[in-house]
Amino acid sequence: MKVKAKAIAPKLQYSRIWSKGQLTIPKKIRDSLKIEDGRIVSILQIGDNILITPNRLVVSEARAAIAQILKEEKVSLDDLLEGLKEERKRYNKEKYGIKKK
């Protein structure tokens, strides 16, 4: 049994590009995709076209959260890396009996 794909004919909508490249996504589209204020969207250029998707950028959000924690705790990147080295030494000693220099 063959299943016919339902053709979706999207209604063309328009929006203006404002200063600094700002674009307003029409309310009907924002509501249907649950794009709320402050939400991050992914933007991809495909030839002469732009694809905007409401996907979360998990890596970017994680990086921002880590940066905020480091700032609040007054930990530098060098401090973090040194702590990771120390933790790796402790783990290897506990797990494998290996003491790395």
Q: Report the chain's C-alpha Rg in angstroms.
A: 24
- Structure token pair of residue 25: 């996504």
Burial category of 80 from C-beta neighbours within 10 Å (exposed 0-12, middle 13-18, buried 19 and up): middle
pLDDT tens, 14-63? 888 999 999 999 999 899 888 888 888 888 777 778 878 887 666 677 77
Residue 43: which H helix or E strand, with range? strand 42-46
pLDDT tens, 1-27? 455 545 455 677 888 899 999 999 999
**pTM of the model as a whole:** 0.43
Q: With the CA atoms of 59, 65, 66 and 72 taken in that order, what torsion angle do they form, in degrees rounded to the nearest 10?
A: 170
- Closest CA relative to residue 39, chosen from 49, 52, 20: 52
